[in-house]
Amino acid sequence: MTPMPSPMSGHRAFSPSLADRLSQAVMTTAGALPGPLIRLAAGRTRRVDCQELDPHFQAGIRMIALTSPGEYEDMPVEQARLTVERSAFTASGETVRLPVVEDVVLPLAGMPSASGETTPADLPARLYSPVPGDEVLPMLVYFHGGGWVLGSVDSHDATCRYLAHEGRLRVLSVDYRLAPEFLFPTAVDDALAAYRYVRAHADAFGADPERIAVGGDSAGGNLAAVVCQQTRAAGERTPDFQLLFVPATDMSARTRSYELFGEGYFLTASNMDFYETTYLRSDDDRTDPRASPLLAEDLSGLPPAHVATAGFDPLRDEGEAYARRLADAGVAVSLRRHPTMVHPFVNAVGATPLARAALSEAVGALRMGLA
């Protein structure tokens, strides 16, 4: 079977309003300003844990505080999802033009469930390619962030366009099912089924079967890490690389970075509490390695990784702990903390050159890992 074109092909579920476009233009213009100028709008420099917050991010946080309708956990889920789409669009910058941006459906219904607890369904996805023809390229299967509750292929469209363009690789962004409609481990089963489908049908995507990576940010980084663990445990071919941006790796504990950055830096501790309680079936799930990959007993034999964390992020310490455990298990891993940035910088390609530089650096690690 090959991926079936979606009847919604070429259509974006999120349609920005005129106000959204104006906000995007303002953010893009501000993102091009030098630090000393944007500092006037950002306010007094924030310094925490020997780190200094980038003025572009500081100004962005200030803008969000002034324009946001509230915290995600205080909104109906559909309103929170729309708010995320608008926020991501505002920070997306000028559209990266690619020869191929195609909405597809992955025909996964009827595939055996990885966990035996949920049944895979046909999943929407979006394929990006920097070349128009049949040239075989490396493939990145990408899982968006949003706390397993929010986010979509639309909210991460700018990120995936940038990755495909800069890395000269194909990117498949997977619209896995979200909570509360679908609880843990549905997202895990969807992510695994999507990866397995791409691995089995690489030629249908123009992908090099020897160079298929997984990646994601935040909740998506969590899913990418779990896909690597689960395929290894099943004795299957694992992804050839894992690209983990600000990954959530441990729902069983709170680290020092939660104390330092749990309020006032975009992602909050309360946000994470909301995401986890919405996604998980019970507190027992918190210690399941499919939810908390840091708790897996053995990380040996996993694919090489690039782990990128943000200095001003509640998830910073657990992401770095995961990278250290990978290294201790003999896995080739590069760990990069971006000390001046917040969670999730991958969605800020239009807001600051630092975000673009961080993505470009990660793409370099990915290309090297797949070489």
Question: Is 61 domain-assigned?
Answer: yes
Which residue out of 218, 285, 292, 338 is catalytically annotated? 218
Per-residue model confidence (pLDDT) at position 10: 39
1 within some domain: no
The continuous run of DSSP H or E covering 333 comes out as strand 333-342
Closest-CA residue to 218 (of 289, 290, 311, 145): 145
- 3-class secondary-structure state, position 298: coil
* pLDDT at 196 exceeding the cut of 60: yes
Distance CA 253, CA 194 (A): 29
Is 343 one of the catalytic residues? yes
What is the band of 11 on the pLDDT scale with cuts at 50, 70, 90? very low
> For residue 252, with 0-12 CB atoms within 10 Å meaning exposed, 13-18 middle and 19 or more buried, which class applies?
middle
How far apart are the C-alpha atoms of 11 and 352, rounded to whole Å? 27
Residue 1 is predicted with a pLDDT of 42
Q: What share of the chain in percent tops pLDDT 90?
A: 75
Answer yes or no: do 252 and 207 share one domain.
Answer: yes
Residues 181 and 248 in one domain: yes
Measured CA angle at 172 (ends 167, 178), to 5 deg: 130
User: Of 90, 105, 127, which one is at a domain's C-terminal end?
Assistant: 90
| Cβ–Cβ < 8 Å for 116, 93 | no
Q: Decide if pLDDT at 7 tops 70.
A: no
| Same domain (yes/no): 35, 169 | no
In tens, the pLDDT along 51-83 reads: 999 988 888 888 777 777 889 999 999 999 999
- Write the pLDDT tens digit of every residue in 278-314: 999 999 999 999 999 999 999 999 999 999 999 999 9
Q: Where are the alpha helices (DSSP H) in 212-315?
A: 219-233, 256-261, 269-279
The mean per-residue pLDDT over the stretch 245-261 comes to: 98
* Whether residues 156 and 215 fall in one domain: yes
- Quick check: is 5 in a domain? no
Q: Is residue 79 part of a domain?
A: yes
- Residue 244's H or E segment, with its range, is strand 242-245
Domain boundary among 60, 90, 120: 90
Residues 37 and 184 in one domain: no
Q: Does 2 map to a domain?
A: no
**Position 120 pLDDT exceeds 60:** yes
Evaluate if residue 360 carries a pLDDT over 50: yes
- Report pLDDT digits (tens) over 180-194: 999 999 999 999 999
Catalytic pick among 56, 144, 338, 343: 343
Query: To 5 degrees, how large is the angle CA 98–CA 202–CA 296?
Result: 100
Residue of 103, 157, 208, 313 marked catalytic: 313
Residue 237 sits in the same domain as residue 270: yes
Considering the domain architecture, whether residues 180 and 202 belong to the same structural domain is answered as yes
Count up the domains in the chain and report the number. 2
Specify burial of residue 154 (Cβ count, 10 A radius: 0-12, 13-18, 19+): buried
Q: How confident is the model at residue 356 (pLDDT cuts 50, 70, 90)?
A: very high
Q: Please report, for the domain that includes residue 230, its CATH number.
A: 3.40.50.1820
Nearest partner of 257 among 354, 343, 361, judged by Cα: 343
- pLDDT band at residue 36, thresholds of 50, 70 and 90? confident
* Residues 313-345: tens digit of each pLDDT: 999 999 999 999 999 999 999 999 999 999 989
State the pLDDT confidence band at 137, using cuts at 50, 70 and 90: very high
Kindly tell me if the per-residue pLDDT of 115 is higher than 90.
Answer: no
Task: Indicate whether 159 and 241 sit together in one domain.
Answer: yes
What is the distance between the terminal CA atoms of the chain, rounded to a whole angstrom?
Answer: 28
Q: State the Cα–Cα distance between residues 162 and 140, nearest whole angstrom.
A: 12
Does 36 sit behind a cis peptide bond, omega within 30 degrees of 0 on the bond before it? no
User: Which pLDDT score is estimated for 358?
Assistant: 96
- Are residues 53 and 111 part of one domain? no
- 166 and 72 in a single domain? The answer is no
What three-state secondary structure class fits 157? helix
Point out the least confidently predicted range of 16-25, 171-180, 303-312: 16-25
Q: What is the mean pLDDT of residues 40-57?
A: 87
Residue 296 forms part of a structural domain = yes
**Is the pLDDT confidence value at 114 over 90?**
no
d(C-alpha 212, C-alpha 201), whole Å: 11
Query: Does residue 350 share a domain with residue 296?
Result: yes
Instruction: Residue 251: give the domain boundaries.
Output: 96-370
- pTM exceeds 0.85: yes
Q: What is the mean pLDDT of the chain?
A: 92
Do residue 274 and residue 126 come from a single domain? yes
Final residue of a structural domain among 45, 73, 90: 90
Distance CA 55, CA 58 (A): 5
The set of long-range contacts for 226-229, using a CB threshold of 8 Å and a minimum separation of 24, is 226/188, 226/191, 226/192, 226/289, 226/290, 226/293, 227/188, 227/191, 227/192, 227/195, 228/302, 228/303, 229/289, 229/290, 229/293, 229/296, 229/299, 229/302
Residue 86 has pLDDT above 70, yes or no: yes
